[in-house]
A and B are shown apart, each in its own frame.
Chain A
Amino acid sequence: MESSFVLVGMFASLIVLMLSGAGLAFVLGGIAFLATATLWGPSALIVTVLNTFETMTSEALMAIPLYVLMAAILQKSRIIDDLYTAMETWFGGVSGGLAIGTVVICTIMAAMTGVVGAAVAAMGILALPSMLSRGYHPPLALGAICAGGTLGILIPPSVVTIVYAITAQISIGQMFIAGIIPGLILAVGYCSYIWLRVTLNPKLAPKPREETTIPLSQKIASLRHLALPAFVILSVLGSIYAGIATPTEAAAVAVLGALLSAIFSGRLQLSSLNAAATDTLRVTAMILWITLGAKAFISVFVATGGADSVLSFVESLNASRYVVLLAMLLVLIFLGLFLDEIGIILLCVPVFVPIIKTLGFDPLWFGVLFMVTAQMAYITPPFGYTLFYLKGVLPNGIGIGQVYRGVIPFFLIQVVVLILFVAFPEIVTWLPEQAASRLK
C-alpha cells in the first residue's frame, strides 16, 4: 500500500480516536501496530516489540520514578509547610510580600521536585487562604500561584525535561543545566511584576495592620527549615553539574536526601511512604505507557519516510528560519491547549528536532523554548492543568473566572521571556557550555 496514504490514515485515525477520550497510549500504540502490520507484514512487529523491551530496561527513563518519588516524599512529609512558614517570616513585610514569597517557594519547590501539580496544589492550600485573609486582590494571588507552580517544568530536576532530552537524544544533564538560568529569569520576572504592580497600587495587597516586626534572630532561626531542601537540591544539581553521577544516580541520591529530610523533620511515617509510592507508580505508569505507544507510532512515521517528507517540505518553503521556528512554537502552544506535555513531546519532538538541526538551531536551546511554551499551556484556559489543580482548592466566592483573569499578566511575561530567549540564545546556552568545558 502507498506509504503516504497510510501516513494520512494514521494521523486522521489518531485525531478521531483521540476524541473518544481513550488513553493516548492505546490509541498511538494500536494505530502503530496496525500500520506496521499493513505496511511491512506482521513479522515487522517483532522489531516494534523489541523496541518495547528496550524501553523497559532504559536506565535514563528510570530517573523518572526516582524524581517523582523524591517529590512525593517531600510533599507527603509536609516539608513544604515549613518552607512556607519561613517565607512568611521573611517576606511578610514587603509590598506584595506573600505573593512574591509564593513565587519564591514555588521556585525552591521546582528545584526540589519538578512535578507541576505538587507546587500548585500545596500553594493553593497554604498560600491562597493566607493571602486572601490579608485582603490580597484574588486574581493577583491566583496568578502568582499558577505561574509560580509551572516553574517546575523548566527548573531542574524536571520530569518533562527528562522526557524531552531522551526523545531529542541529547544529554539529560546538559538539558537540566540549561534550564537553570531561564527558570530563574522567569521567577525574577514574576516577582518584579508583583512588586511593581503592588507598589503602584497598594490596595491590591494590604500590609498587615499592626507593624509587627519580627526579630532578626527569629528570621534566621526560620531558615533552618531551608537547610535540608537546600542539601537535596545541591546534591542533585552539584553531582550532575560536576559530572560525577548520571541523572539517574543523582535521582537515587535525591530520594535518600528526601527521606533524610523527612526523618529529621520528624514526619516520616509508613503511611506517607505508602502514599508516595502510589503517586510514583501513577505518574510513572502514565508516562511510560504513553512512551511505549508514542515510540511505536513515531518509528512508523520515520520508517515510512514521513519525517523526511516533512523536512523537505520545510526546506522547500524557503522561509526565514525564524518563521519556521515561530510556526513550530505556535503548534506547541496550540497542542498544549488540550494535550499533556509528555504526549506533545513524544509526538512533536521526533519531528521538530531534525528540522531544528537542519535550520542550524541548537536542540538544547529549542528544548528551553519548548519548556516555556509548555508553561504557557499549563496556565492557559480552557485546558490549563494548573487551573484544574487549583479549581479543587478554591474557596467559596472565588470563581474560575478570577483565575483566568489572574494568569493573563503572567502569560504575557512568559511571552516576553520567550522572545528574549529567541533573540539572545546565549542566555540559555551559556551555562551548559560552561559545564561542558569544565568536563573536558
Chain B
Amino acid sequence: MLRAAQAITTFNRWTFETTKWLVYVIAALMLFEVISRYSFHNPTSWGPELATLLFGPFFLLGGPYLLHIGGHVAVDILSATARGRLRTILAVAAALLALIFGVILVRFSLPLAWQAFEYGETSYSAWNPVVWPAKMVLPLAGLLLILQSLAEVVFAIKVRTA
C-alpha cells in the first residue's frame, strides 16, 4: 500500500516538475506576439491562442502534487492544532473530499472531452486548431487527483500507526 502511494506521489511530482517549464513557453509565445505585433505590425494567428491552450494544462497538472505538499488554500484552524486520532480523521476526510472532487471532475468532463475528440472539434478562430488535447487534460488531472488523494489517505493512516 505504502509502496503504491509513494509511486503515485513520485509520478505526480514528475508531472509537476515537467509541467512547470510550460510557463517559459507561455511567456515566450506571448512575448513573440507582442514583438511581432508592436514592432513589425504583423500579429501571428496562433501565438496567443497556443499560449491559452497551454495555460489550462499548466495549472491543472500542477494540482495533484500540490495536494501532497499541502499547497492548496485551506482553513487549517482545526487541522493544525488537532492531535492524535482527530488529526488522522481530519487528514483522511480532507483527502476524501479531494477524491470526491476528482471523481466528479472525471465523470462529467470525460464525456465532453471525448466528444471533442470524436468530432474533431476546433476552436473556430483564425488559426482553428483542434481543442481536444487541451480538454482531455481536465479528466486526466481529475484522475491524477483521485490517485494522489488515495495516496494521502494511506500516508495519513501510516503516520498514525507508525
Contact = CB atoms under 8 A, between A and B. Distances in A.
A22 B20 contact: no
With most chain B CB atoms within 10 A of its CB, the pick from A24, A27, A53, A252 is A252
Contacts of A56: 55-56, 60, 134, 137-138
B94 A22 contact: yes
B24 A277 contact: yes
B75 A339 contact: yes
Contacts of B55: 56-58, 61-62, 65
A49 B111 CA distance: 10
A277 B21 contact: yes
A98 to B, nearest CB: 34
A338 interface: yes
A61 B13 CA distance: 24
B74 A285 contact: no
A25 B101 CA distance: 9
B52 A249 contact: no
Contact of A33 (B58, B59, B108): B108
Contact of B90 (A20, A23, A26, A61): A20
Contacts of B134: 56-57
B51 interface: yes
Interface in B69-99: 69, 71-80, 90-91, 93-95, 97-98
Contacts of A265: none
A189 interface: no
A401 to B, nearest CB: 18
Contacts of B101: 25-26, 29-30, 33, 293
A18 B73 CA distance: 10
Interface residues of A, number: 62
Contacts of A248: 30
A160 to B, nearest CB: 13
B109 interface: yes
A23 B108 contact: no
A285 B98 contact: no
A59 interface: yes
A30 B66 contact: no
Contacts of B17: 278
A282 to B, nearest CB: 5
A255 B27 contact: yes
Contacts of B56: 53, 55-57
B107 to A, nearest CB: 9
Given A25-B73, A61-B55, A66 B66 contact: no
Nearest to B53: A57
Contacts of B104: 29-30, 33-34
A26 B97 contact: yes
A37 B16 CA distance: 32
With most chain A CB atoms within 10 A of its CB, the pick from B21, B34, B77, B137 is B34
A277 to B, nearest CB: 4
Interface in B93-130: 93-95, 97-98, 100-101, 104-105, 108-109, 112
Nearest to A337: B77
B142 to A, nearest CB: 10
A24 B75 contact: yes
Nearest to B80: A21
Interface in A158-216: none
B151 interface: no
B2 interface: no
B108 A46 contact: yes
Given A17-B97, A30-B100, A66 B26 contact: yes
A244 interface: yes
A29 B48 CA distance: 29
Contacts of B4: none
A281 B20 contact: yes
Given A59-B52, A285-B59, 16 more contacts: A18-B74, A20-B90, A21-B91, A22-B93, A25-B101, A30-B104, A33-B108, A34-B104, A65-B23, A65-B55, A69-B24, A252-B33, A278-B17, A284-B62, A288-B59, A342-B73
15 contacts: A22-B98, A23-B74, A23-B97, A24-B74, A29-B104, A52-B109, A65-B23, A69-B23, A244-B38, A255-B27, A255-B31, A285-B63, A286-B66, A293-B101, A340-B73
